[in-house]
């Protein structure tokens, strides 16, 4: 259950960040409500995951790493932002890091 909550926190945080990008610095007013609701939802889901026993170091590490990778990919798809080979390697390293964190958490 905590992993689903964390996944929801990640997805909503990425959606909020991409919505913020779409808002052009909140100049497009129609994006303000989705940005606020999505960020509040992301933090709410993260809070519940932590309250249900997920260690904060694992939750935050995975949330931050996945958020960076998914936001870069989403920005490429939605906004045609640059995704260089170095960035792709970085996303791969993030994926490996998340896997190592997950495997390390199962050892305890």
Q: What pLDDT score was predicted for residue 98?
A: 85
**How far is the CA of 92 from the CAs of 6, 68, 95, in angstroms?**
20, 12, 5
pTM for the model stands at 0.88
CA dist 12 and 3 (Å) reads 14
Tens of pLDDT, residue by residue over 41-92, are: 999 999 999 999 999 988 988 898 899 999 999 999 999 999 999 999 999 9
Mean pLDDT of 91-100: 89
Where do the structural domains in the chain lie, given as residue ranges? Answer: 2-106
User: Do the beta carbons of residue 76 and residue 83 sit within 8 Å?
Assistant: yes
Mean pLDDT of 89-107: 85
């Amino acid at each position: 259950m905590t992993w689903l909550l964390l996944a929801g926190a990640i997805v909503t945080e990425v959606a909020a960040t991409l919505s913020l990008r779409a808002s052009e610095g909140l100049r497009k007013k129609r994006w303000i409500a989705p940005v606020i609701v999505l960020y509040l939802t992301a933090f709410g889901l993260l809070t519940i995951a932590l309250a249900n026993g997920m260690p904060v170091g694992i939750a935050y590490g995975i949330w931050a790493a996945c958020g960076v990778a998914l936001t870069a990919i989403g920005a490429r798809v939605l906004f045609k932002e640059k995704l260089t080979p170095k960035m792709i390697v970085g996303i791969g390293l993030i994926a490996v890091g998340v896997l190592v964190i997950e495997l390390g958490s199962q050892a305890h």
